[in-house]
Amino acid sequence: MGIGGAPEGVLAAAALRCLNGGMLARLVPTKPGQEERMRKMGITDLKRIYTEQDLAPGPDILFVATGVTDGSFMHGVRFFGGGYRTSSVSMSLRERQIRFADTVRLEDGSDVVVEF
């Protein structure tokens, strides 16, 4: 349960579709003018409850993320003397596949030592 913007809701819905998860969401205007903007976009039912299927429809969902800060799902960017290391995940609904990637980027120089 949480609160966030509509783009974050679509990203969460895409990831959940790839994980066979589910969610319920509602658009809640919090600033002046948002209700009018929603109506101009064709949203007429301001009480509608959206599912992950509504927010991320279709069979070709691909979700990709790279950790920026450490979290329970993946590491954030880790810097070392000769470069940096990142952790990423990619999920495909069509392929029914989840991939984790651990990437090390080395700076120029022949004396760079990589520590794992």
Asked if the model's pLDDT at residue 110 lies above 80, the reply is: no
Asked if 50 and 73 sit in the same domain, the reply is: no
Phi and psi for 12 in degrees, rounded to 5? -65, -40
Domain residues for the domain of 82 are: 62-106
Q: Quick check: is 111 in a domain?
A: no
Taking the model in full, what pTM does it have?
0.80
Which residues, at least 6 apart from 79, have a Cβ–Cβ distance to it below 8 Å? 85
Q: For 67-78, what is the mean pLDDT?
A: 95
Average pLDDT over all residues of the chain: 91
> What is residue 92's predicted lDDT score, i.e. its pLDDT?
98
- Enter the DSSP assignment of 79: E
Token look-up 């600033």 returns 31
Q: Quick check: is 46 in a domain?
A: yes
E strands present in the chain? 24-25, 50-51, 62-66, 78-80, 83-92, 97-106
Asked if the model's pLDDT at residue 58 lies above 80, the reply is: yes
